[in-house]
């Protein structure tokens, strides 16, 4: 389990030479394991880059009606999903369209999880999702 602050905040200039290499692991929105939690939802487009946005209500429970504390935001659609999957991509041109904070999140998520891991957000934690097939 990794805290959001550990993933989303990094040193300036993090872009470095390693960022643009081929075979980079990144989080993409996925429908995999949707329905494992009763509070799951999927409004984004499968396969788009999954970004981490700040939750809007500090007092709401992680499984409350808003969903900000348990979701990723799709880069293209700007809609949300409760699941993302770590995949290897060769085309890293999307990095030029991201803010430094978004780049930090994408790179660190790819480095902290393994290819194929389905991840979820639970308030201020990002973790590998355990589903019925894993138990």
Residue 33 has pLDDT above 60, yes or no: yes
What is the residue extent of each domain of the chain? 2-11+19-134
Q: Please give the model's pTM, rounded to 2 decimal places.
A: 0.79
Q: What is the mean pLDDT of the chain?
A: 80
What's the 3-state SS for the chain? Answer: CEEHHHHHCCCCCCCCHHHHCCCEEEEEECCCCCCCCCCCCECCCCCCEEECCCCCCCCCCCCCCCCHHHCEEECCCCCEECCEEEEEECCCHHHHHCCHHHHHHHHHHHHHCCCCCEEEEECCEEEECCCHHHC
User: What pLDDT does residue 50 have?
Assistant: 96
What is the structure's pLDDT at 126? 93
Q: Which has the higher per-residue pLDDT, 124 or 116?
A: 116
- pLDDT per position as a tens digit, 78-94: 999 999 999 999 888 88
Per the model's pLDDT, the better-predicted residue between 129 and 21 turns out to be 129
pLDDT of residue 23: 80
């Amino acid at each position: 389990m990794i805290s959001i602050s550990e993933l989303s905040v990094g040193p300036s200039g993090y872009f470095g030479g390693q960022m643009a290499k081929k075979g980079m692991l990144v989080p993409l929105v996925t429908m995999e394991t949707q329905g494992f939690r009763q509070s799951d939802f999927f409004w984004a487009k499968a396969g788009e880059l999954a970004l981490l946005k700040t939750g809007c209500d500090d007092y709401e429970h992680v499984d409350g009606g808003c969903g900000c504390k348990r979701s990723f935001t799709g880069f293209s659609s700007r809609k949300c999903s409760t699941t993302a999957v770590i995949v290897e991509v060769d085309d890293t041109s999307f990095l030029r369209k991201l803010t430094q904070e978004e780049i930090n999140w994408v790179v660190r998520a790819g480095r902290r999880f393994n290819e194929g891991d389905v991840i979820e957000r639970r308030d201020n934690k990002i973790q590998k999702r355990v589903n019925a097939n894993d138990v």
